[in-house]
Amino acid sequence: MPYPPYFTEEHDRLRESVRRFVEKEVKPYVDEWEEQGEFPKSILRRMGELGFLGLRYPEEVGGQGGDYFSSIVMAEELARCGAGGFPMAVAVQTEMATPPILKFGTPEQKKQFLEPALRGEKLACLGITEPDHGSDVAGIETRARREGDGWVIRGRKLFITNGPRADFITLVARTSDEPGYRGISLFLVEMDRPGVSVGRKLDKVGMRSSDTAELVFDDVWVPAESLLGEEGKGFYQIMWELQGERMIAAAGAVATAQYAHELALAYAKERRQFGRPIAGFQVVSHLLAEMAVEIEACRQLTYSVAWRFARGEVPSKEISMAKLAASQTAFWVVDRALQIFGGNGYMAEYPIERLWRDVRLNRIGAGTDEIMKEIISKEMGL
C-alpha cells in the first residue's frame, strides 16, 4: 500500500524480502522460541547476512545505507511473526543499544561494538532501568568511579532485554556526585568482564521469545575508552536514544494492531453462529470498522512524525503522541480482536492470545503512558 512521500519502490522490495524471511525463517519457529524463553543467536547472524540489522546505517560501518523508513518497514514486517518478543529483541539490537554508538562513538568503538552487532555476531542490550529507578532516569544509582586509567562500575540493572546472553551492554551510569541528570554518562561494557553477572532471568507474562534479566555489576573495571561520548552528557544522550526507541515502538504497535485486525477479520468471516458468519452481525462488522479507523489514524500519525525524525528533527512532543496513541490503540484493538474470537481467543492454540499478552508491554516499555502524557503536557506549557 503506497504512502508517498514515505515509501518508494525500494521500500516495497525490502518489505517483500523481509516478509519472505519472516514467513520462512521466523514464523515457523516462534512457538518453540516462546516455550524456550529465547530465540537462537543464529537467527540474528542470519539477519546480519541478509543486511537486515544495518538497514539505515551507513555503509562505512557495515550498514546498507538506507533511510529511516527502512527501519519502519522492518518493524512492521517483524510484527507479523505472531510473537512480540523476537521483534522487540531485534529492535534493541538495531534501534536502542547501537544508535548511540553510531552518533557518539569513536571509530574504535564502532569497529569493536557496532560493526559486529550489525553483522549479528554480537548481541547487544541497553541498561537504563534499575530496581529502584524506572521512569526516573535522572535518579539512577549505578555508579562508575575513576580508578587508574579506567573506571569501576557498581550497580544493578533490571528488565534488560537480551541481558542473559548479550555480548555487550550500552550502560547508563552515574559518574559524579552531582544530583539529577548532570552526573550521568554512557559506557560500552563487555558482558564477559569480571564482576558482570546475571542476577536472575525474569519470567514475563508475554514477550516470552526474548530473554530478560536483572544484571549485576560488582566492581567491574573497564578501560577509559569504554566511555561513550562525553562524560556527564549521558542523560542527554540517552534522552536522544529514547526518542528513536519510542518512534520504532509506535511503528511496531501499529503493525501489531494491523496484524490482529487481519486475524479477527478473517475469523469473523469464517466463524458461523446462528446460521451465518459472525461478520454479518452489525455489532461485529461495526467493531471491525472502528478498529480499522483507529489503526489508520495511528499509522498516519506515526508516519508523519517518523518523516520528521528521518530528517533530523527530534519532535519529542509528537513522538510521545505517536507512541502513546499507537500503544493504547494496539492494546484496544488486540483486546477487541480477542473478543471477536470469543472463547477460542483465550486458547493457546489461537495466535490472538499471545498478541494480547505481548501488546500490554507497549504501554510500559520505552516510557509509560503516563510519562508520555507528562512530556506532552509539559510541551504544551502545563
- The SS3 call for residue 346 is helix
Active-site option among 130, 245, 294, 318: 245
CB 189 within 8 A of CB 180: no
How many CB atoms neighbour CB 230 within 10 A?
A: 12
What pLDDT, on the 0 to 100 scale, is given for residue 4? 58
How many CB atoms neighbour CB 9 within 10 A?
A: 8
**Torsion over CA: 116, 118, 121, 122 (sign):** positive
pLDDT surpassing 90 at residue 180: no
CATH class in words for 125-232: mainly beta
CB 204 within 8 A of CB 216: no
Average pLDDT value for the chain: 96
* Residue 226 grid coordinates: 569504554
What is the DSSP track for 80-125? GGS-SHHHHHHHIIIIISSHHHHHH--HHHIIIIIHHHHTTSS-EE
pLDDT in tens, 211-221: 999 999 999 99
The contacts of residue 340 (CB under 8 Å, 6+ apart) are: 264, 267, 268, 278, 284, 287, 288
Pick the CATH number of 9-123 from 1.20.1070.10, 3.40.50.10490, 1.10.540.10, 3.40.1160.10: 1.10.540.10
**Torsion over CA: 4, 9, 14, 15 (sign):** positive
Element (H, E) at 240: helix 234-270
What pLDDT, on the 0 to 100 scale, is given for residue 178? 84
pLDDT surpassing 80 at residue 102: yes
CB 173 within 8 A of CB 184: yes
Pick the CATH number of 235-380 from 1.10.1660.10, 3.40.50.720, 3.50.50.60, 1.20.140.10: 1.20.140.10
**Torsion over CA: 261, 56, 53, 368 (sign):** negative
- The SS3 call for residue 258 is helix
Within the chain, which residue ranges are assigned CATH 1.10.540.10? 9-123
The contacts of residue 31 (CB under 8 Å, 6+ apart) are: none
Q: Tally the residues of the chain.
A: 382
pLDDT in tens, 127-151: 999 999 988 888 999 999 999 999 9
What pLDDT, on the 0 to 100 scale, is given for residue 264? 98
Within the chain, which residue ranges are assigned CATH 2.40.110.10? 125-232
Element (H, E) at 20: helix 9-21
**Separation CA 113–CA 251 (nearest Å):** 26
Place 106 in a pLDDT band, splitting at 50, 70 and 90: very high
Within the chain, which residue ranges are assigned CATH 1.20.140.10? 235-380
Catalytic-residue membership of 95: no
**Separation CA 214–CA 222 (nearest Å):** 20
| pTM of the full structure | 0.95
pLDDT surpassing 70 at residue 3: no
What pLDDT, on the 0 to 100 scale, is given for residue 234? 95
pLDDT surpassing 90 at residue 177: no
pLDDT in tens, 15-61: 999 999 999 999 999 999 999 999 999 999 999 999 999 999 999 99
What pLDDT, on the 0 to 100 scale, is given for residue 97? 98
**What is the b/e burial string over 133-144, where b = at least 16 CB atoms within 10 angstroms of the residue's CB?**
bbeebeebebbb
